[in-house]
């Protein structure tokens, strides 16, 4: 079988068709572009900060944003958060620096150790602390440096597995935040997810088709994949499940009625007196 678009050597299937490397990349980029348009993810002249970990998803996002920035007329830079997870972080940082150099993308680095601790200092619930740290730093860095939005590389399976997990735990409010574009308010910067409709397998194949490096090691703190396995299992039994739920989730427009206030220590938005990030700093800081 040849590439159905140009007749060259085949590389992989994409949504029903067989394509060569170049045509696979073009089809993939076209699908991301359609999602960006469908959900009005990026406004004209917006300054986007793309959070990149070096994994396949964020590398795919960087490469596509680079392709789309002229067409949608936005500017973008990238942010790597040095979480201090031993060799994993060192390796990831090196790869992110290589990619940004190759694609000529400005890279900012924020080190968690400058706040007094690293993820390796955290005991218990590591991913939950890490998630809080990343959200806090992305938002604060973006706002303090004049960015309009933060783009993350969440893929379809990330969004759906988080949705199921939050539904299971009763955190409905978190489920409602899993939208392709979440407009900012007060000190919260807008969040966008350009890979909202892209599967992780498509992301990895795209990165390979473009010949970009990515972090292949798994974080040593990586949690169980049970929720993602459930998403794959449901999709196998009900083909079209993923896209149907994603589009219904995106349609959800309930007002965020939760009250908020400002952290007594850092001034960021929080639901309590002291924000979770400052509580994490107080708990894990080495300078105590």
Q: What distance in Å separates the CA atoms of residue 138 and residue 141, rounded to the nearest whole number? A: 5
Q: Please report how close the Cβ of residue 239 comes to ligand SF4 at its closest, in angstroms.
A: 29
**126 vs 152 by CB, closer to ligand SF4:** 126
Within 13 Å, how many C-alpha atoms sit on residue 160's CB side? 27
Nearest distance, CB of residue 257 and Zn ion, angstroms:
22
Residues 217-276 touching Zn ion, rule: CB under 5 A, are 263, 265-266, 275
In this chain, which stretch among 14-22, 107-115, 122-130, 157-165 interacts with ligand SF4, using CB under 6 A?
Answer: 122-130
Q: How many whole angstroms separate alpha carbon 158 and alpha carbon 112?
A: 24
Binding ligand SF4 (rule: CB under 6 A), the pick from 25, 130, 205, 275 is 130
**Integer Cα distance of 222 and 74 in angstroms:** 33
Distance (Å, whole) CA 76 – CA 212? 19
Nearest one of 31, 225, 58, 13 to 155, comparing CA atoms: 58
Please identify, among the stretches 66-74, 203-211, 217-225, 248-256, the one whose residues bind ligand SF4 according to the rule CB under 6 A. 217-225
Q: What are the counts of helices (DSSP H) followed by strands (DSSP E) for the chain?
A: 10, 10
> Judged by CB under 6 A, does residue 222 bind ligand SF4?
yes
Closer residue to ligand SF4 (CB): 3 or 122:
122
Among the residues of the chain, which ranges form H helices? 21-38, 56-72, 86-103, 126-144, 156-169, 172-175, 200-209, 226-237, 241-251, 276-284
What track of x and - describes contact with ligand SF4 for positions 144 through 163 (by CB under 6 A)? --------------------
Residue 226 sits in the site that holds ligand SF4 (CB under 6 A): no
CA 67, CA 208: separation in Å to the nearest integer?
16
> How near is the Cβ of 225 to Zn ion at its closest, in Å?
32
**CB of 209 vs ligand SF4, minimal distance in Å:** 25
Structure tokens at 5: 């678009």
The residue (of 109 and 238) whose beta carbon lies closer to ligand SF4 is 109
Answer whether 241's CB lies under 8 Å from 156's CB.
no
Backbone angles phi and psi of 110, in degrees to 5:
-120, 130
133 sits near Zn ion (criterion: CB under 5 A): no
Q: Which is nearer to Zn ion, 230 or 266 (CB)?
A: 266
User: Which of the residues 60 through 119 are near ligand SF4 (CB under 6 A)?
Assistant: 119
Helix (H, G, I), strand (E, B) or coil at 182: strand
Q: Which does 263 bind (CB under 5 to 8 A by kind): Zn ion, ligand SF4, none?
A: Zn ion
Where do contacts with Zn ion occur on this chain (CB under 5 A)? 263, 265-266, 275, 278
Where do contacts with ligand SF4 occur on this chain (CB under 6 A)? 119, 126-127, 130-131, 219, 221-222
């Amino acid at each position: 079988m040849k590439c159905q678009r140009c007749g060259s050597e085949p590389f992989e299937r994409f949504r029903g068709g067989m394509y060569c490397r170049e045509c696979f990349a073009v089809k993939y980029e076209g699908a991301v572009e359609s999602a960006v348009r469908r959900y009005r993810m990026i406004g004209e002249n917006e300054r986007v900060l793309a959070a990149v970990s070096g994994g396949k998803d964020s590398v795919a996002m960087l490469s596509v944003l680079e392709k789309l920035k002229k067409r949608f007329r936005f500017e973008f830079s990238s942010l790597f958060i040095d979480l201090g997870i031993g060799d994993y972080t060192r390796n990831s940082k090196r790869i992110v620096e290589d990619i940004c150099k190759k694609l000529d993308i400005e890279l900012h680095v924020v080190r968690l150790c400058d706040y007094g601790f690293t993820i390796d200092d955290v005991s218990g619930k590591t991913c939950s602390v890490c998630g809080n740290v990343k959200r806090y730093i992305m938002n604060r860095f973006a706002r303090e440096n004049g960015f309009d939005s933060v783009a993350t590389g969440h893929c379809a399976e990330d969004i759906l597995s988080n949705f199921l997990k939050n539904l299971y735990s009763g955190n409905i409010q978190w489920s409602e935040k899993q939208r392709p574009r979440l407009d900012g308010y007060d000190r919260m910067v807008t969040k966008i997810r350009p890979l909202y409709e892209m599967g992780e397998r498509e992301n990895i194949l795209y990165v390979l088709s473009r010949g970009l490096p990515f972090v292949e090691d798994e974080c040593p703190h990586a949690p169980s994949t049970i929720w993602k396995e459930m998403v794959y299992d449901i999709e196998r039994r009900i083909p079209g499940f993923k896209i149907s739920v994603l589009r219904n989730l995106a349609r959800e427009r309930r007002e965020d009625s939760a009250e908020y206030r400002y952290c007594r220590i850092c001034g960021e938005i929080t639901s309590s007196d002291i924000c979770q990030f400052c509580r994490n700093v107080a708990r894990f800081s080495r300078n105590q």
